[in-house]
Amino acid sequence: MTEATAIPTGLDASLAEQPVRVVQRDGVRYTLLGTAHVSPASVAAVEAAIGSGQFDAVAVELDAQRLGAMEDPDALAKMDLVEVIRKGRVPLFAANLALAAYQRRLAEQLKIEPGAELKRAVTAARERNLPVQLIDREVGLTFRRASRRLGLWGKLQLISGIGAGLLSKEEVGEAEIEKLKQGDMLESSFGDFAEQSPALYDTVIAERDRYMAARLREESAKAATPLREVLAVVGAGHLAGLARHLAEDQDDATATRTALEDVPVKRNIPWFTLTILAVIIGGIAYGFASGGMNMGAELLATWALLTGGLAGLGCLLARGHPLSILTAMAAAPFKPFRLSIPTGAFSSLVEARLRKPAYADFMALRDDTQSIGGWYRNRITRVLLVFLLTNLGSASGLWLTVARFGSRLSS
């Protein structure tokens, strides 16, 4: 098991200026070609490498979902928004929208499709009937693992970053473009937050180095025909880490991949939420005990009106359907009985069923996410607004209830 730095004999001389690492392992020589996701030179380098005819297989820094989005612009139109809500994937859907909006801004600003060299690697390999290996981890898994490791403040920063990415019309800054020249779309899309958050950087960059190394080993081990030469096209920012893990990691490749796909389920008791709810429920009980039926009923009505009313107001501000608004108002006061299900899940599910997105909404999605008016016009993004603003209203009602109870019971 050795690592070399020389470009394999027979490759086009134009690769001499490209970042390349060569790792020999288990009888397979892996040529790791580092690319910039916004560089025409990287596309040419990929074409030259595959055109050399030296490789048995081509691996790319993509997962099936991202490749599908590149190859099929209508992929979003096949998504079942109701299922997205039912399975609790609204935050992930919003993150994918933010990434798509960011990529569109890049394409318009730089006049090149971000990740064009990865797409070209796939098409060039298929033209030569070479196996294509998709070695990157699914974006949704990366996002969920990152979210699990962030604290409350970190999650709020991440959510605000996603929101800014969805609504921003500004040109992409030089710092983000430099990150893309180093070749990682996910890191650049998170901006400076990826640098400031060790947990986010580890899941977005370092973990994926290990993951892709494990995938390369897995693909070589299960190949029907033994592989001798594999070209891996990855962002330049992954080159050093990927080469190191590919050369040095001794753990079973499948076990490593499985571990890096696992999203630990938090089993911690939500003490903070339970404490707030205990204060409210205890206040209502105390009101009945000390002030009689009138005070108890008053506090109970306050709880229902504040949480239900503000949840309904949030849904109204999102221009939700009248039945969606009523659903928000009815569901919010029952938060103590469903800690893990946000109020917005109910109102957005009703909204998606009553105002089912049409094909045209999916087709206009990337344009509509560029403006506030587009968010309200498009039925898909309006469902997201219903989800977010209903939850914001419900949470505001919760805190106002605590303040109101404190004032009422102390008087």
CA Rg value for the chain: 26
Give 230's DSSP letter.
E
Percent of the chain whose predicted confidence (pLDDT) is above 70: 68
User: How much is the average pLDDT of 15-24?
Assistant: 80
Look at residue 144 and tell me whether its pLDDT is greater than 70: yes
Res 184: pLDDT: 59
Q: Measure the CA dihedral 68/72/77/83, to 10°.
A: -10
Res 1: pLDDT: 46
Look at residue 136 and tell me whether its pLDDT is greater than 60: yes
Res 374: pLDDT: 83
Look at residue 8 and tell me whether its pLDDT is greater than 60: no
Burial letters for 264-287: b for 16+ Cβ neighbours within 10 Å, e otherwise?
Answer: eeeeeeeeeeeebbeebeebbeeb
Res 153: pLDDT: 66
Q: pLDDT digits over 23-49, tens only?
A: 999 999 999 998 876 777 888 889 999
Res 156: pLDDT: 65
3-state helix, strand and coil shares in percent for the chain, rounded to the nearest 5? 70, 10, 25
User: How much is the average pLDDT of 191-197?
Assistant: 58
Res 267: pLDDT: 59
Q: Are 229 and 9 in contact (CB under 8 A)?
A: no
User: Given the structure tokens 């430099």, which residue do they identify?
Assistant: 178
Task: Return phi, psi of residue 32, to 5°.
Answer: -95, 110
Three-class secondary structure of residue 32 per DSSP: strand
**Which residue would you say has higher pLDDT here, 159 or 166?**
159
User: Given the structure tokens 């696992």, which residue do they identify?
Assistant: 262
Q: Which two tokens stand for residue 291?
A: 């002030």
Instruction: Look over the chain and give the mean of its residue pLDDT values, rounded to a whole number.
Output: 79
Segment holding 59, helix H or strand E: strand 57-60
Beta bridge partners of 160: none
pLDDT category at 230 given cuts 50, 70, 90 is very high
